[in-house]
Structure 1
Amino acid sequence: MDSTPVENIDWGLAASVGKRIARPGPRVTRYTADRARAELLDAAVRAEGPVREVTGLADGLAVPTAQILDRSGWIDAATRSMPAMLGPAPTESGDDGVDDGAAGADARRTGTGFTGKVAGVQAGGLLAFLSSAILGQYDPFSVDPETGQDGVLMLVSPNIIAVERALRADPSDFRLWVCLHEVTHRVQFSANPWLAEYMRSNVGALTGDEDDSVAEIVSRITEGLRSGKPREKGVIGLMQLLQSPEQFEAFERVLALGTLLEGHADHVMDAVGPAHVPSVESIRAAFDRRRNGPKNPLQRLIRALIGMDAKMAQYVRGKAFVDHVVDTVGMERFNTVWTSPETMPLMSEIGTPDAWIERVL
């Protein structure tokens, strides 16, 4: 089946399209915007100490300055980060062994061919949708312009303001609460530098252009259905049918890593929150109601297509895994999970944390 390799996406076009169609953020005065920016910068720094204390990670490392972005700024950052995460640029000779010259090489390298532009428009539409949903993000694949070090902590101010208004949360408390989660991601990656390459390599294996024909994919689905082998439900089960065994193994590793990272961050939020965020209980309750609340049909379709509901489940399953292991063996022994790819939990162990304890500890 023909597909556009991820490195051939026209990311410049994706950024342009995304920023053009992204919804505007909430109406705010200049005073409100400036105050939110100042509070988020301060909260990102204040969150570091409690996160490090609870996790036992990143002790002694410098505390970087967060980037406070609007939706367009996040789209620009995402289109710079995605090519870095998805791997190196293609070679200058075509896959068919025919050298089509510098123009053709440039088109592949920058994604400016026809397929690259089509993919760029599609990516721009996805980024526009996500730009209103992302509260914050730690990007291990971008370089901090101030320090020159890998990794950037980003907070999307208009989205944080929109959600705190919807939840009727205390703004200062909510901003610190969000920062606790995102700073935990920064600490995870900065304390364990191998995680970024582990993620990159598995995403690369997952998104690599297998160039399967339609017949091969149909045969794979048919064989999977006839085999009677147990499969996961929903999107994961579909991926199990559509992907090659090697791709699905990479998919499971990416999913397990994401589940661990999100669950660990949620665990830290709840462990740190009561001592530092006075209204944390009401924020958590309201946020969970919003997270699990009804969506309109279009939102449900988009969320299903891009796997956002699966991501929401990651928070719940991942937090349950971390809660159980930490309660059973303590945070210090839990931190063995960050040692190497071999100590990462398997997807089968996320729901049975005692199996991870038995295998690894």
Structure 2
Amino acid sequence: MSIFESARAVVSADGGGAIDWDSVADAATSATPPGELALGEDTADAYAADVRDARARIRSVSGLSFDVPETVALHTRHHWVDANVATFRRAFEPMNQQPSRLPGVARTLNTATTAGALVFIARNVLGQYDPLLLADASDAHALYFVHPNIVAVADSLGVQFPRFRRWIAFHEVTHAAEFGAAGWLSDYLETRLRTGVDALADGTIDTAAFEELQVAMTAVEGYAELLMDEAFDGEYDDLRRKLDARRGQRSPIGAVATRLLGLHRKREQYERGREFFAHVAGERGLAGASRVWDDPEYLPTDDELDVPPRWLARVPA
């Protein structure tokens, strides 16, 4: 694996459309060390046990009805890249159907940019609940853990691996709870994602679609933070503090990459959403905060995220 091989994969991008997805996958894996996945049976079983325990605790605390994927996937960084290239390919297919004014140049640049984004995320992502947006209805949702990254981050934070692994499992299962409780959520996100991408393919920007997508994801991340704090069956103050610090402390290059890729918005989603739901739960408890999943009309607006009393005045207890 080398930067040279990654660059060569990008330059070899061919065919029509905006992005050569095969070259994206080749470039991203060439530039990313996969990490070790030589797991003993005990470790693999421990991941599954953490997920089962998280499901039971979250069901008990929240009263939400949901299930988790039948298979828990333990990934290297390369496995994660392959899974997400498939998701990106589905999402951005409309752009590949539009001719480019500078087909060779634009395709190479788009391919390189997308591969670079995947490289950066693959080196940092810990776990992922994937509702498989825009996939065939027969496809099940998925739960991934990027084992090499979890091991590396636990070590860098000075946290015992089993405890940190369990924390990540609880966080991802909270997302499964949200999508399970809100049967409409996948369709809601898919519609806005497809509308936004279709507009980009036509050379325009549908600001409303992307704003609604951003607000919905802020609610998803914020509620997950609230539910995590209620459900996790151990001390977590130090984990929360250390992870918050990690989100805010990047190398200069990492900080630039985070902003260029829009990943700073992920941190804003956590913080803004957490503050909103902390206020709502303080007034109405966890059950009152969970009303957000009863109907898409109960999602907070952008203004309500900053002024929670407006949401409380609008949504019945």
| Alignment-derived partner of residue 216 in structure 1 | none
Alpha-carbon RMSD: 2.8
1:301-344: CA deviation from partner (whole Å, max 9, x where unpaired): 11111122221121111011112112212233322211333221
| Alignment-derived partner of residue 166 in structure 2 | 176
Q: Does 1:40 align with 2:50?
A: no
Which of 133, 157, 161 is the equivalent residue of 1:167?
157
Which of 265, 279, 298 is the equivalent residue of 2:253?
298
| Alignment-derived partner of residue 221 in structure 2 | 262
1:70 Cα offset (Å): 0.6
Q: Distance between the aligned counterparts of 1:23 and 1:269, measured in 2?
A: 31
Q: Return the letter of the residue paired with 2:210.
A: F
- Number of paired residues? 296
1:19 Cα offset (Å): 0.4
Q: Return the letter of the residue paired with 2:111.
A: G
Q: Distance between the aligned counterparts of 1:29 and 1:251, measured in 2?
A: 37
Q: TM-score, normalised by structure 2?
A: 0.83
Q: Distance between the aligned counterparts of 1:62 and 1:171, measured in 2?
A: 23
Q: Distance between the aligned counterparts of 1:88 and 1:308, measured in 2?
A: 23
1:213-240: CA deviation from partner (whole Å, max 9, x where unpaired): xxxxxxxxxxxxxxxxxxxxxxxxxxxx
Indicate if the aligned counterparts of 2:128 and 2:144 stay in contact, CA closer than 8 A. Answer: yes
| Alignment-derived partner of residue 335 in structure 1 | 290
SS of alignment partner, residue 209 of structure 1: helix
Q: Distance between the aligned counterparts of 2:37 and 2:87, measured in 1?
A: 31
Q: Distance between the aligned counterparts of 1:198 and 1:192, measured in 2?
A: 10
| Alignment-derived partner of residue 277 in structure 2 | 322
| Alignment-derived partner of residue 51 in structure 1 | 58
| Alignment-derived partner of residue 129 in structure 1 | 120
Indicate if the aligned counterparts of 1:18 and 1:128 stay in contact, CA closer than 8 A. Answer: yes
Give the alignment of 1:225-240 within 5 angstroms: none
Q: Does 1:205 align with 2:164?
A: no
Indicate if the aligned counterparts of 2:131 and 2:142 stay in contact, CA closer than 8 A. Answer: yes
SS of alignment partner, residue 153 of structure 1: strand
Q: TM-score, normalised by structure 1?
A: 0.74
| Alignment-derived partner of residue 346 in structure 1 | 301
Indicate if the aligned counterparts of 2:69 and 2:142 stay in contact, CA closer than 8 A. Answer: no
Q: Distance between the aligned counterparts of 1:54 and 1:9, measured in 2?
A: 44
5+ residue gaps, structure 2, are 1-16
5+ residue gaps, structure 1, are 1-6, 96-107, 213-242
Which of 190, 206, 212 is the equivalent residue of 1:253?
212
1:285-309: CA deviation from partner (whole Å, max 9, x where unpaired): 222222222x222111111111222
1:181-237: CA deviation from partner (whole Å, max 9, x where unpaired): 10111121123232112112212222332645xxxxxxxxxxxxxxxxxxxxxxxxx
Identity %: 28
1:63 Cα offset (Å): 5.6
1:140 Cα offset (Å): 0.9
Q: Distance between the aligned counterparts of 1:65 and 1:185, measured in 2?
A: 16
SS of alignment partner, residue 307 of structure 1: coil
Q: Does 1:195 align with 2:194?
A: no
Indicate if the aligned counterparts of 2:68 and 2:173 stay in contact, CA closer than 8 A. Answer: no
SS of alignment partner, residue 57 of structure 1: coil
1:86 Cα offset (Å): 4.3
CA change 1:318–1:210 in 2 (3 A) is same
